[in-house]
Structures are given as C-alpha cells and as structure tokens.
Amino acid sequence: MTKLTIKSRERTPRVFEVALTGRLDTDTCRHLEATVARLLDGKAKVIELNLAELDYISSMGLGVVFDTMTKLKKTDGRFAVTNLQPHVKKIFEITKLLPAEKVFTNVAEADRYFDAIQRREKGKGRDH
C-alpha cells in the first residue's frame, strides 16, 4: 500500500496551501480529492499544491490535479503548483497538463503572481 500525507493550511482567508508528501497514485488520489472537496465546499478561492515532498505522481494523480484546476476555474478561483521535484516536473511537462504560468518554483513566487492578479482586479473595479 502506498502512502500519501496531505497537510493543508489557510495562509490568508480562502487561500490554501496543500502540501503533499509521498505518492499520489491510484491508491491515494481519493484522499486528495476529499481534501480538495472540503476546501472548495469552504469556498476556497486559491489552492496551491506544494509538491516539494511528492515522490511520485500517476495518471490518476494527474487527473485529480487537473480536476482541481478545472473546478477552481469555474468559480473564478486560482490554482498553482509549486516546488516540483525534477522527476515530477518532467511528468507535468510531458503531459502539458498545466500552463506554464500555473507552475512556480516556490510558494513565494506563486504568492507574488496571485498578489499581482488581485491588485489588477481591484484596479479594474475602481475604473467603473
């Protein structure tokens, strides 16, 4: 049996970092699906998957990542993947699952990206 540890924390209101440790595969992907469902039910606006400790991802794991991205997009939410290990990053590159602007070297880089988006959106609201 494979093992996946998931730690989520709300860094700011409705902005969650979800750190994965271990293997995201057929045996463990339902655990991540359940975590994401809870966050979305709680009206999460941003989900950042921190994959610094992810050792392996299967096609089922990729499916959960894609579903998460799709669900957030439908609610005008934001999604990012950070801290990919080279072997996991290669899988994302091969599958072209995520646009380049959704993959970040670290959490701070993702935060700068999301901050810029929010500032831009707030500025649009003032123009009207």
Average pLDDT over residues 78-91: 87
d(CA 39, CA 120): 25
Residue 112 has pLDDT above 60, yes or no: yes
Average pLDDT over residues 70-88: 89
Q: If you average pLDDT over each of 16-20, 41-45, 54-58, 70-74, which comes out highest?
A: 16-20
116 alpha carbon, distance to own chain's centre: 18
Give me the count of residues in the chain.
128
Domain ranges of the chain: 4-127
4-127 belongs to CATH 3.30.750.24: yes
Residue 8 has pLDDT above 80, yes or no: yes
Average pLDDT over residues 108-119: 66
Mean pLDDT computed over every residue of the chain: 84
Note the pLDDT tens digit of each residue in 34-60: 999 999 998 899 999 999 999 999 988
Q: Are 43 and 14 in contact (CB under 8 A)?
A: yes
